[in-house]
Amino acid sequence: MKEWVQDPPVIIEQGRDCFIRDIYGRWYLDGVSSMWVNIHGHGHRHINERLKAQIDTLAHSTLLGLGNVPAIELAHRVVQLLGDTLATTPHDLNKVFFSDNGSTAVEVALKMAFGYWKHVGETTRNSFVCLNNGYHGDTLGAVSVGGIDVFHALYAPLLFKTHRSPSPYCYRCELGLRPDTCNMRCLAQMEAILSTRSHEIAAVIIEPLVQAAGGMIVAPEGFLRGVRDLCRKYDTLLIADEVATGFGRTGAMFACQHEAVVPDIICLSKGLTGGYMPLAMTVASQRIFDAYQGEFSQLKAFFHGHSYTGNPLGCACALACLDVFETECTLEALKPKVELLDGWLRDIAARSARVGQARGIGLMAGVELIQDDTPAETCQYGQRIGWQVAHRARQKGLIIRPLGNVVVIMPPLAISMENLVSMLAIIEEAISEVSSV
């Protein structure tokens, strides 16, 4: 905080396409998608128009006891989209609960899963299984199921107890295993928890495929599928937090698609509105919804609500954002960009001694920097190597935001090939400049 207060601030005044401009007129490429939310670029005409039309119709009306038109339309559209992409049955992921950010989407999912078991009479299910290096938001329930010590350890006395399973971070396997055995062992450890404690576990919560805030840790193939199978085998719920991975980031509409996984509850936010408005959805199955049905005297309703739940402006943006996926064939257009990025990730580790592992899927990637003299060694957090790279990149007209030693590559999906090429060139230059000092 002390350094941050001393540094001159960058204050953004305007956005256009994949660029943002500061108050001094300098344009930057938005390589962080304005914190992973922007999909189709800034100031997209269709989204702007739909938002303006919505403002003239209805800015907000509560969903507590009432409905509103864009929220209903959006709920239908997202349930349909989940059905089409994940091949759900009509009873899977068909009930939508709205909130206004990723953390609350997770809080809702946790409370919903917990309440589900109470209502069906399994009263000992008071805990959750989560992963080391996991991130689910900054509110206390979400922090309780988080696993990033730098962010979370301080708050330990305030948190509820969970069972933490190893992260499938095979590059730095916490069990000291080779990548090919790390995956199996991570699943085996989760199974050890579930097999002895399934009567205590309300749900397993994971970020499907990529532990994003943990450092863009890409799970090995089969891990997500394996977690789904374990949840089924031990009859517990699976919460998929797709707040970061949803809406095309991984190259598919949802990360769960890659391994044909249907969770019991899915959390969506960030890209939901294309980066326009704060909005989130927690989508659950019929089975969970039904557990909350009862006579008034049983008080089984899901007692949770937020003032701006289902905000019509946010929902209008989300509907427009989904229109653009169709009209601009966003996922189809992504393919050559993903290929380009994959190629660059493959080569950068060979070209730079400072790069330990470069990993990614779709248009979300991380370049993990190491000490060049001792390749397996992690850089000390205090060296702020990621920040140094980001700082250099900013001087070259690119905004990126690192996670510790990991340089994060997360541009809007709409980025052009040309701008993606220059983004990667700037990052590579910045890494080599920081390495040579």
Ligand X SMILES: *Cc1c(COP(=O)(O)O)cnc(C)c1O
Which is nearer to ligand X, 132 or 352 (by Cβ)? 132
CB of 423 to ligand X, least distance (A): 21
342 is in an annotated binding site: no
Interacting span for ligand X (CB under 6 A) from 157-165, 237-245, 329-337, 404-412: 237-245
In whole angstroms, what is the distance from residue 123 CA to residue 200 CA?
9
CB of 353 to ligand X, least distance (A): 30
**Coil, strand, or helix at residue 107?**
helix
241 is in an annotated binding site: yes
Q: Does 213 bind ligand X (CB under 6 A)?
A: yes
For 77, the enclosing helix (H) or strand (E) is: helix 69-86
233 is in an annotated binding site: no
Q: Which 133-192 positions form the footprint of ligand X (CB under 6 A)? A: 135-137
Chosen residue from 241, 264, 368, 428 binding ligand X by CB under 6 A: 241
306 is in an annotated binding site: yes
Which is nearer to ligand X, 106 or 393 (by Cβ)? 106
Size of the site for ligand X (CB under 6 A): 15
Give the relative orientation of helices 312-327 and 45-57 as an angle to the nearest 10 degrees: 150
Give the relative orientation of helices 417-436 and 385-395 as an angle to the nearest 10 degrees: 130
Residue type, 349: A
Q: Which 319-358 positions form the footprint of ligand X (CB under 6 A)? A: none
CB of 56 to ligand X, least distance (A): 27
Chosen residue from 74, 212, 238, 252 binding ligand X by CB under 6 A: 212
Which is nearer to ligand X, 277 or 379 (by Cβ)? 277
CB of 241 to ligand X, least distance (A): 5
264 is in an annotated binding site: no
Reading the block at residue 342, the tokens are: 């994959």
103 is in an annotated binding site: yes
Q: Which 398-437 positions form the footprint of ligand X (CB under 6 A)? A: none
Please name the residue that has the structure tokens 């990621």. 386
155 is in an annotated binding site: no
What are phi and psi for residue 412, nearest 5 degrees? -55, 145
**E runs forming strands in 221-363:** 237-241, 265-268, 280-284, 355-361
Q: How far is residue 18 from each of residues 39, 265, 288, 362, measured CA to CA in Å?
A: 9, 32, 40, 18
401 is in an annotated binding site: yes
Q: Which 263-282 positions form the footprint of ligand X (CB under 6 A)? A: 269-270
CB of 97 to ligand X, least distance (A): 15
Reading the block at residue 209, the tokens are: 């495929």
214 is in an annotated binding site: no
Instruction: Provide the sign of the torsion angle of the four alpha carbons 349, 355, 360, 364, taken in this order.
Output: negative
Which is nearer to ligand X, 204 or 426 (by Cβ)? 204
Which is nearer to ligand X, 217 or 398 (by Cβ)? 217
Q: Which 88-127 positions form the footprint of ligand X (CB under 6 A)? A: 101-103, 106
Q: How far is residue 139 from each of residues 120, 129, 358, measured CA to CA in Å?
A: 27, 18, 30
Q: What angle do CA 170, 173, 175 make, to 5 degrees?
A: 140
What are phi and psi for residue 39, nearest 5 degrees? -115, -55
Reading the block at residue 223, the tokens are: 């891990």
Tell me the residue length of the chain.
437
Pick out the residues of the known binding site for pyridoxal 5'-phosphate: 102-103, 241, 306-307
Pick out the residues of the known binding site for substrate: 135, 270, 305, 401
Which residues sit at the interface with ligand X, rule CB under 6 A? 101-103, 106, 135-137, 207, 212-213, 241, 243-244, 269-270
